[in-house]
């Protein structure tokens, strides 16, 4: 009997030694890190099927108590049983996972078919099915499910069956039409010129992009992976109007470094819609819309009349709309107050040595009636000559430009407004 017991014990030891380690092996002392909150289950079978979820473990460090069929039992106390989890719920790359209402990215279905459910869990009802290759925009949730819109309603799919599709960067070869759908006979919604940088997803023979906030398409073969390498060549251009020089090639968020007058020669490099050139010892950018390659012919005879000077003052005033209001300032690089704007326009456009204050400017030039006002005339506001407090420039068509307030800056307003009619004192031609 003793021999039989020894044989039985020996056979049991051999059986245990031969058993796969992933099935029953205790693993005390081994740690496990949860990168995010996961569902917990009472047994390994439920964890594998993700059914009968009982609770949630939060992100943190745990001890492994047992492993079975790739499922893991973890606990906060070493050597003590805890709850079962499915390791697929533990996101391994948390550095690129973004949660929030603006975190939509494009996903592609990897599996043959995947159920979409009414909630983020297998216990919710099925509201649709996604097939292999289906692409959609979704928002990754902290529990590993992806929130999306399916047939006009909110749905959820489990993230393991999908891969995130990264944006592809492409550059337009020599001009390409932008279409509303991935067909050559769909409506045109825009056009991109050579070198335009695009980001999108390849869909068949098309590149799906975001164009002015909407989904659009360009023909893929008309784009390339890298921008065309060109040697920058300096060009010579001449200004056709008073031209602002900015610190970056954009009208949005840029700072005006200064202004160059009409017929000024500029040497620089064309970069898209801008010319990059040197201005007062620093790099500046000016719009090519106000440049020409033809050198202007300067007439020796004086041909400009008072009327044309006024038109030039009015034209320059309209160019300054959008500039900042700065008290006691009279420069595009800093800003303007009301009299500073009028002072700047007359001194730079009309070569008139104008005074700086509203009340003294009223004493310059000569007065014109309301009905006789022409573009370039100064319009004054107040209740008397000594009580004048504001001034602007009439630019024609019932409009005037003035440095209004710090909140509004330099703006263009109507002379027919109630404020203008109630505050208008008179107009003068100061050039």
Range picked from 86-95, 189-198, 292-301 for highest mean pLDDT: 189-198
Task: Look up 402 and say whether it is catalytic.
Answer: yes
Identify which has the larger pLDDT, 136 or 23: 136
Q: Is pLDDT at 85 greater than 80 in this prediction?
A: yes
Q: Where in the chain is the domain with CATH 3.90.1720.10?
A: 306-429
The reply to whether 277 belongs to the active site is no
Confidence band of 84 (pLDDT split at 50, 70, 90)? very high
Catalytic residue check, 201: no
Contact predicate 296/238, CB 8 Å: yes
- Does 94 score more than 50 pLDDT? no
For residue 211, the Cα-to-chain-centroid distance in whole angstroms is 12
Q: Give SS3 for 410.
A: strand
Q: What mean pLDDT do residues 48-69 have?
A: 88
Quickly state the pLDDT bin for 344 (edges 50, 70, 90): very high
Structure tokens at 212: 């002015």
CATH topology of domain 306-429: endopeptidase fold (from Nostoc punctiforme) (3.90.1720)
pLDDT of residue 313: 95
Element at 218 (helix H, strand E)? strand 214-219
**CATH number of the domain at 234-292, please?**
2.30.30.40
Give 150's pLDDT tier (boundaries 50, 70, 90). confident
pLDDT > 70 in the chain, percent: 86
pLDDT the model gives residue 297: 56
- Per-residue pLDDT averaged across 306-327, rounded? 89
Q: pLDDT by residue (tens digit) across 208-240?
A: 898 888 889 999 999 998 887 656 678 888 887
C-alpha distances (whole Å) from 160 to each of 7, 146, 223, 368 are: 48, 10, 33, 79
- CATH number belonging to domain 98-164: 2.30.30.40
92 has pLDDT over 70: no
Tokens describing residue 170 = 């492409």
Of the candidates 264, 262, 308, 259, which has an alpha carbon nearest to the alpha carbon of residue 280?
259
Write down the catalytic residue from 211, 277, 338, 346: 338
Q: Please report the pLDDT score of residue 231 as a whole number.
A: 60
Q: What is the pLDDT of residue 14?
A: 37
Whether 299 shows a pLDDT value over 50: the answer reads no
Catalytic residue among 211, 277, 346, 390: 390
Structure tokens at 127: 């509201």
| Average pLDDT across the chain, whole number | 82
User: Worst-scoring range by mean pLDDT, 24-33, 148-157, 358-367, 381-390?
Assistant: 24-33
Query: Which pLDDT belongs to residue 36?
Result: 73
CATH of 168-224, one of 2.170.150.20, 2.30.30.40, 3.30.365.10, 2.30.30.90: 2.30.30.40
CA distances (Å), origin 421, targets 342, 416, 418, 424: 20, 7, 5, 6
pLDDT band, very low/low/confident/very high, at 343 (cuts 50, 70, 90): very high
Q: Which two tokens stand for residue 79?
A: 């050597």
What are 229-235's contacts with CB under 8 Å, separation 24+? Answer: 232/269, 233/269, 234/267, 234/268, 234/269, 235/267, 235/268, 235/269, 235/270, 235/275, 235/293
Tell me the HSE value of 398 on the side-chain side, using a 13 A CA sphere: 4
In sequence order, the β-bridge partners of residue 421 are none
366-395, pLDDT tens digit by residue? 999 998 999 999 999 999 988 999 999 999
Higher per-residue confidence, 3 vs 96: 3
pLDDT at 302: 38
**From-to residues of CATH 2.30.30.40 in the chain:** 98-164, 168-224, 234-292
Q: How confident is the model at residue 41 (pLDDT cuts 50, 70, 90)?
A: very high
Over 90: is that where the pLDDT of 258 sits?
no
User: 75 pairs with which residues across the strands?
Assistant: 63
């Amino acid at each position: 009997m003793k021999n039989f017991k020894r044989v039985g014990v020996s056979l049991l030891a051999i059986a245990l030694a031969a058993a796969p380690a992933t099935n029953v092996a205790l693993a005390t002392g081994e740690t496990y890190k949860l990168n995010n909150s996961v569902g917990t289950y009472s047994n390994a079978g439920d964890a594998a099927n993700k059914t009968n979820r009982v609770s949630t473990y939060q992100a943190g460090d745990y001890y492994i108590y047992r492993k079975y069929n790739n499922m893991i039992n973890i606990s906060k106390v070493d050597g003590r049983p805890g709850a079962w989890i499915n390791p697929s719920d533990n996101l391994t790359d948390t550095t690129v996972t973004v949660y929030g209402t603006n975190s939509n990215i494009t996903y592609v279905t990897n599996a043959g078919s995947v159920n979409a459910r009414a909630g983020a869990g297998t216990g919710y009802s099925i509201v649709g099915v996604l097939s292999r290759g289906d692409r959609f925009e979704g928002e990754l949730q902290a529990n590993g499910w992806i929130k999306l819109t399916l047939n006009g309603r909110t749905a959820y799919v489990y993230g393991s069956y999908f891969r995130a599709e990264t944006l592809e960067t492409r550059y337009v070869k020599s001009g390409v039409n932008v279409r509303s759908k991935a067909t050559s006979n769909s409506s045109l919604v825009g056009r991109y010129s050579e070198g335009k940088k695009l980001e999108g997803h390849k869909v068949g023979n098309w590149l799906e992009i975001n164009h002015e906030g909407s989904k659009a398409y360009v023909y893929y073969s008309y784009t390339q992976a890298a921008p065309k390498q060109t040697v920058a060549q300096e060009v010579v251009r001449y200004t056709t109007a008073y031209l602002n020089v900015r610190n970056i090639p954009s009208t949005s968020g840029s700072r005006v470094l200064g202004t160059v007058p009409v017929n000024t020669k500029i040497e620089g490099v064309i970069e898209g819609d801008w010319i990059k050139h040197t201005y007062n010892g620093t790099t500046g950018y000016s719009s090519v819309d106000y440049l020409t390659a033809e050198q202007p012919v300067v007439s020796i005879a004086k041909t400009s009349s008072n009327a044309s000077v006024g038109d030039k003052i009015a034209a320059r005033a309209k160019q300054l709309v959008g500039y900042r209001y700065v008290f006691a300032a009279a420069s595009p690089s800093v800003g303007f107050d009301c009299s500073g704007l009028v002072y700047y326009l007359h001194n730079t456009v009309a070569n008139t040595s104008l005074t700086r204050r509203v009340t003294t400017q009223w004493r310059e030039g000569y007065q014109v009636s309301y009905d006789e006002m022409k573009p370039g005339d100064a319009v004054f506001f107040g209740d008397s000559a000594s009580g004048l407090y504001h001034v602007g420039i009439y630019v024609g068509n019932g409009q005037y430009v003035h440095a209004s307030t710090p909140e509004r800056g330099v703006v263009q307003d109507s002379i027919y407004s109630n404020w203008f009619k109630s505050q208008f004192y008179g107009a003068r031609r100061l050039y």
